Chain A
Amino acid sequence: MSAGRSTSAVGSTSAGRGVLEGVAPQPGVAKPDPILVLDGVRRRFGGLTAVDVEHLEVQRGMITALIGPNGAGKTTLFNLLTGFDQADAGSWSFDGSDLAGLPTHQVARRGLLRTFQLTKALSRLSVVENMKLGATGQRGEGFLSALISPLWRDQEREIEQRARALLRRFQLEHLAEDFAGTLSGGQRKLLEMARALMAEPAMVLLDEPMAGVNPALAQSLLGHVRTLPGDGTSVLFVEHDMDVVHDISDWVVVMAEGRVIAEGPPEAVGANPAVIDAYLGTHHDAPADEGEERARLEDAEARMEAEATSTSTPTRTAGDDR
């Protein structure tokens, strides 16, 4: 059964790549059918510019990976897009409507859902209740209608069936009645993704879906991510594991120091010098020639010496005071 699913998923993946065949692999390039378009999105924390994206388009019906070294601004970008943080400047549209400045719950209602790097399982709710919370447009979520169960009982039954079907797909069905707080880290990742899918989103932003998941579970999680575009859900995900990125993504966007420095199909991005530079920091750590290395050493020694004198001076002054 799972084999059949992954074959169809692979099919959708290759179809996705076909669409972007003619798209040039350069930052900010236009896509044929973007679901998410960002323009001039900027976020500063004091003196640090965490996010500074000139232009970025994310293609509909595909899996796009967002990679970059630690501190590149990937999670901050997710926070901005989903209303968890407010951008200092810029606009972005999702599925044709402007999302900038909307509160989180309204972003979610328009079909853009996210998961978290550190999972947010609702510990003292059962797994199936966690799932049912994800469904949108619930009639029983109003105070007065909640008091009259015939108004929402049928819908609740339908939601419950959908929740259990999804749990089966994610191999969590046997845990349906357990408190979500008893799940392992990997199971929580699965639950959180399944819960987001209860809303039938047009797009999900997955923040490190594989982090902390054991390899066996990661494989099944990957399988689920692959099926999403086929079910009408576009995916943008943050990931550090390059094998995973190569394995499932149709397109890769690379961020460093808040900017988009490269994009392209996964094979091409790995060879991009700007990407290697961002990850390995070529011109910082690996000197180009012997002369430069010597100069760097001298510079470092001089700095260490300066530091030594500057730290010893205040100690002496403190001693004099006493």
Chain B
Amino acid sequence: MDWGLIFENGLKAGVGDFAAVFALAAIGLNVHFGYTGLLNFGQVGFMAVGAYGIAVAVTYLGTSLWLGLLVGLAASVVLALLLGLPTLRLRADYLAIVTIAASEIVRLMVRSVSLREYTGGSSGLTQFADDFYAINPFAPGRYGISPITFTERQTWLLLVAWLAVAIAAAMVFVLMRSPWGRVLKSIREDEDAARSLGKNVYWYKMQSLLFGGVLGSIAGFVLAISTQSVQPDTFSPDLTFFAYVVLILGGTARVLGPVVGAMIFWMLLSATDNLLRQAVRQEYIPTAIMDGVQVGQVRFMLVGLALMALMAYRPQGIFGDRREIELDVRR
């Protein structure tokens, strides 16, 4: 067993592009679910409209990537309004149903044959982020602390991606200490109480949905630019649930919860993946039980087990406050 490689790959995944993508998506979910109590099960929909916003703008409309970012942001705002206008007046569960359905509608729409001209159908779009890599200030070479090094392209992307994470986390930090954040938290606790104190609950929920949704679309930007491709089936509902896992792992309603949660989640996924692969290759695990192809699924089982253990022994997540969990909120 090459423990060094497992460790190295784990660390790389922990600071990698996917960790940043899920940190951003989970920060958005934290605003929705952790602070406002909105059950958004369609965060991947916001990621998809962000990613496709830039891809379609660049490849079909021929705009620059920068204008594409604005298109992606605008698309996420429109999606939030579409989701929120009809559902935010209703009970929380309606939003959950509508968001999960809407995220699938987005995926199936960009996948559809009739829109292939614009979205590339099931094969998606590629090579639309050249503008981003064209302004890479890093000279060719490898950067990082050996052995955790990245190419100049990866380094540039990771720098910008984690900067976005830092800005998003800082915004959440400031907002949730402000009277605005207090109103969101009061809606999470009891929206009738907030309403009876003169707060326009509907409008605050809408603002929360918009802000978290925009963060989701920025996660989509990072994903699209990092891989230089968008593909409809990437944006399946599992992504939303990964983002929830990340959020709960780190601790809901904590500023750094989603960030650290994302890093640990991808470290764990990478480590279990590498471990199992090596074990299969060196025949510590007989092929009768598992072969190399099944590693992808089994690692999710292991991560699931780890999460169950976490929920049993530390239900508040890594950063959460146990006292909050133990309060009987229904009283």
Please list the residues of chain A having a beta carbon within 8 angstroms of any beta carbon in chain B.
82, 84, 103-106, 108-109, 113-116, 120-125, 129, 132-134, 136, 138-143, 145-147, 149, 152, 156, 179, 181-182, 195-196, 199
Interface: B196 (CB within 8 A) = yes
* Cα distance, A123 to B37, chains bound together (Å): 13
A140 to B178, CA, bound (A): 6
Q: Give the complex CA separation of A106 and B211 in angstroms.
A: 24
How far is it, in angstroms, between the C-alpha of A82 and the C-alpha of B186 when the chains are bound?
19
Q: A116-B196, A125-B189, A179-B324 in contact; A147/B174 too (CB < 8 A)?
A: yes
Contact B179 A120 (CB under 8 A): no
A182 touches B327 (CB 8 A): yes
Q: A108-B197, A196-B197, A199-B197 are in contact. Are A123 and B180 (CB under 8 A)?
A: no
Q: Is the CB of B182 within 8 A of A125?
A: yes
Q: Are B192 and A123 in contact (CB under 8 A)?
A: no
Q: Are A123 and B329 in contact (CB under 8 A)?
A: yes
| Interfacial chain B residues near A84, Cβ < 8 Å | 192, 195-196
The answer to whether B186 and A133 touch across the interface, beta carbons within 8 angstroms, is: yes
CA distance A125 to B171 in the complex (A): 20
Interface size on B, residues (CB 8 A): 33
Residues from chain B with a CB closer than 8 A to the CB of A82 are: 196
15 more A-B residue pairs beyond the given contacts A124-B324, A149-B178, A181-B328, with a C-beta to C-beta distance below 8 A? A84-B195, A103-B195, A105-B198, A108-B197, A109-B198, A122-B185, A122-B193, A123-B329, A125-B182, A134-B197, A141-B179, A146-B174, A147-B171, A179-B324, A181-B329
CB distance from A146 to the nearest CB of B (A): 3
Question: Which B residues are within 8 Å of any A CB, using their own CB?
Answer: 171, 174-175, 177-183, 185-186, 188-190, 192-201, 207, 211, 323-324, 327-329, 331
Which one, A138, A139, A146, contacts B175 given CB within 8 A?
A146
Residues of chain A lying within 8 A (CB to CB) of residue B200: 103, 105
Name which of B174, B198, B329 has the most chain A CB atoms within 10 A of its CB.
B198
Contact A156 B185 (CB under 8 A): no
Please measure, in the bound complex, the distance between the C-alpha atom of A149 and the C-alpha atom of B189, giving whole angstroms.
24
**Which residues does chain A contribute within 8 Å of B328, judged by CB atoms?**
123, 181
Contact residues in A for B189 (Cβ distance below 8 Å): 122-125
Residue A141 contacts which of B177, B180, B193 (CB distance < 8 angstroms)?
B180
CB-CB < 8 A to A106: which residues of B?
Answer: 198
Q: Which residues of B contact A123 (CB under 8 A)?
A: 189, 327-329, 331
Docked Cα-Cα span, A142 to B185, in Å, equals 14
Smallest beta-carbon distance B324→chain A, Å: 5
CB distance A152 to B195 under 8 Å?
no
Q: Residue A122 contacts which of B171, B190, B324 (CB distance < 8 angstroms)? A: B190
Q: Which residue of A lies closest to B175 (CB)?
A: A146
CA–CA, A179 and B329, complex, Å: 11
Interface majority SS (helix, strand, loop, mixed), chain B: helix
Contact B324 A133, beta carbon cutoff 8 Å: no
User: A108 — which chain B residues lie within 8 A by C-beta?
Assistant: 195-198
Given A105-B199, A181-B331, A132:B179 Cβ within 8 A: yes
Chain A residues near B194 (CB, 8 Å)? 122, 133
Report the bound CA distance from A120 to B207 in whole Å: 23
Q: Are A104 and B180 in contact (CB under 8 A)?
A: no
Instruction: Report chain A residues within 8 Å CB of B171.
Output: 147
Which residue of A has the minimal Cβ distance to B195?
A: A104
Q: A113 contacts which chain B residues (CB < 8 A)?
A: 196-198
Q: How far is the CA of A28 from the CA of B331 in the complex (A)?
A: 38
Query: Would you call A146 and B192 a contact (CB within 8 A)?
Result: no
In the bound complex, CA of A143 to CA of B185 (Å): 14
A88 → chain B closest CB, angstroms: 20
In contact, A133 and B197 (Cβ under 8 angstroms): yes
A-B CB contact pairs (8 Å), 19 listed: A82-B196, A84-B195, A105-B200, A113-B198, A114-B196, A116-B193, A120-B190, A122-B194, A125-B182, A132-B182, A136-B198, A140-B178, A141-B179, A146-B180, A147-B174, A147-B175, A149-B178, A152-B179, A181-B327
Contacts of B198 in A (CB 8 A): 105-106, 108-109, 113, 136, 199
**Chain B residues near A141 (CB-CB < 8 A):** 179-180, 183, 199
CA distance A276 to B201 in the complex (A): 43
Q: Are A179 and B180 closer than 8 Å at their CB atoms?
A: no
Contact of B182 among A109, A114, A129, A199 (CB under 8 A): A129
- Docked CA distance A116–B331 (Å): 13
Residues of B within 8 A of A125 (CB): 182, 185-186, 189
CB neighbours (8 Å) of A199 from chain B are 197-198
| Minimum-distance CB pairs A-B, first 8 | A146-B180, A108-B198, A140-B179, A146-B178, A181-B327, A120-B193, A122-B189, A104-B195
Chain A residues whose CB sits within 8 angstroms of the CB of B180 once the complex forms: 140-143, 145-146
Contact of A124 (CB < 8 Å), options: B192, B193, B201, B329: B329
Inter-chain CA distance A181–B177, complex, in Å, is: 20
Closest beta carbon of chain B to A150's beta carbon, Å: 12
Chain B residues with CB under 8 A of A133: 182-183, 186, 194, 197, 199
Which of B183, B192, B195, B323 is the most central at the interface, judged by chain A CB atoms within 10 Å of its CB? Answer: B195
Q: Which A-chain residue is minimally distant from B204 (CB atoms)?
A: A141
